[in-house]
Amino acid sequence: MNQFQVIDQQLSKTDVTAYGNQIALLYQHHIAEKSLRFQAILEATGYEDLLIGSGETKMQFQDDMAYAFKANPYFREWVPLATRAGCYLQITGAASKPRLFLLSVEDIWHTAPESLPAGFEQAFDIIEYASIDEVKKCLGTATAFINETNELEAVAEFWNPQAVLHQIDFQRRGKTAYEQECVREANRRAVPAHRAAQQAFMQGASEVQIAAAYLAACDCRENEMPYGIIAGVNEHAAVLHHHNLFKQPQTPRSFLIDAGVEVYGYASDITRTYAYDSGSDFAAMIEVMDKKQLELCAEGGIGKSPVDIHVLSQHKIAEILIEFDVLKISAEEAVANNIAASFYPHGLGHHLGCNVHDKGSQLANAQGDMLPPPEKYPKLRSGAPMVANQIHTVEPGLYFIPAYLEKLKAGEHTSSINWSRVDEFVPYGGIRIEDNIIVHADNSLENLTRDAFAGSQ
């Protein structure tokens, strides 16, 4: 049992105050650890201090309405103010608290801006400011400024310096106890929503109605989602990022939902697939995929290569296709000839954190040398060996995508495929099952998603 599971056991599920105190304590340790990491970054890059902006509100073209705001991930890594624009965090090389600058304006038109959770404010020296000039007066002579816009008018080498970004992305791979708990809680909150979406599908709801059921169950607004809800019914399950949800109900056959929840700026990323008819071959295929996915989850570990595990996942998908009489050749032949990739065209997973596809997964070192994906699998998001306290998704998929199937049918390997069997599965779209796992420092693996589903029964 790891220290975070001990904390979970000590907290009553109904004792919100106790949990709030515990997460605030984890947050204090998080800021202390991040401060040490970023002091090392300043020393390595030669900057005096670092200023990270949350970002600015964007107005719609020729209109007086703003787009929904979301703070950039470099800011959210430190401060859980995801919806508050105009904030700045200053980190210095000295052993002092980071400074948090909050814009102070009189505004009778809008709801008061988001505030820090109770107990979190102790981590900062908080300064309210009315003009950017007040922020500038507090900066050193060599301030690295990270933000989408350059309102400080920093010279090019000081605004989003690549050397600093590489250092930050590299250190981000290993998550603090607080970050792990945020993603753990994001999994817990997503599970009831996934169950509500499944129930809506089984009752014949449209994709839009299913998404609405998801949002209601996790008590979130759509713009609070870490990414757009993917809710594909029937053939739409073969569209990898099916965000353009249909309003019309369809006769239900299959359903794929890929959706998470965000907690203090950190995301869960969970996918499940369901069959309407539990006795169908498609339902049986989902069961086999579920077993293969758990086998792939168990392959993680410190120093393990995500590329090697992805290659293994290609073999496992080929094995499923053989078991259900879609392929007439061996798994080895299917992988070698890229036939399996036509049914499984994406990578096995990615690094997860305050970016859904978090940074640092392809960095060989803090200096920015990259480990690009192999030529055979150019879409892999993770290339660097796994490290302690890293959070990964594991999401093998098997799809019947018409565009890919047409190419296969017209190609040299058409005789390797049982096309009548393919035709039977096309109306179901496809299958993806996705869990979030932590590779702990003792090399144990924690499956946040399976634990969350088990704990909510």
Q: Per residue, what are the HEC states of 204-272?
A: CCCHHHHHHHHHHHHCCCHHHCCCCCEEEEHHHHHCCCCCCCCCCCCCCCEEEEEECCEECCEECCEEE
Q: Mean pLDDT in the chain?
A: 93
Distance CA 163, CA 366 (A): 8
The CATH number assigned to the domain with range 3-171 reads 3.40.350.10
* Domain spanning 177-455: CATH superfamily: Creatinase/methionine aminopeptidase superfamily (3.90.230.10)
As a whole number, mean pLDDT of residues 426-454 equals 98
Half-sphere exposure for 207 (CA within 13 Å, toward CB): 24
pLDDT score of 7 more than 60: no
pLDDT digits (tens, 9 = 90+) for 163-197: 999 999 999 999 999 999 999 999 999 999 999 99
Amino acid at residue number 58: K
- Local confidence band at 16 (pLDDT 50, 70, 90 cut-offs): very low
**How many secondary structure helices (H) and strands (E) does the chain include?**
14, 15
Q: Which pLDDT does position 316 carry in this prediction? A: 98
pTM for this entry: 0.94
Q: Which pLDDT does position 166 carry in this prediction? A: 98
Distance CA 239, CA 241 (A): 6
Q: Are 84 and 54 in contact (CB under 8 A)?
A: yes
pLDDT score of 216 more than 60: yes
Q: Are 390 and 169 in contact (CB under 8 A)?
A: no
Question: Which percentage of the chain shows pLDDT scores above 90?
Answer: 89
Q: Which pLDDT does position 2 carry in this prediction? A: 39
- Local confidence band at 95 (pLDDT 50, 70, 90 cut-offs): low
Q: 446 - beta bridge partners?
A: 438
Q: What are phi and psi of 446, to 5 degrees?
A: -115, 120
pLDDT digits (tens, 9 = 90+) for 328-373: 999 999 999 999 999 999 999 999 999 999 989 999 999 999 998 9
Distance CA 127, CA 125 (A): 7
Q: Are 294 and 313 in contact (CB under 8 A)?
A: no
Distance CA 433, CA 310 (A): 15
H helices of 246-385, in order, are: 281-297, 306-323, 331-336, 339-343
Q: Where are the domains of the chain?
A: 3-171, 177-455
Q: Are 301 and 387 in contact (CB under 8 A)?
A: no
As a whole number, mean pLDDT of residues 310-330 equals 98
| Spatial CA neighbour of 277 closest among 197, 202, 168, 355 | 202
Q: Which helix (H) or strand (E) holds 165?
A: helix 162-171
pLDDT score of 17 more than 60: no
**Lowest-confidence range among 1-15, 52-66, 181-195, 437-451?**
1-15
Q: Which pLDDT does position 106 carry in this prediction? A: 80
DSSP state of 305: -
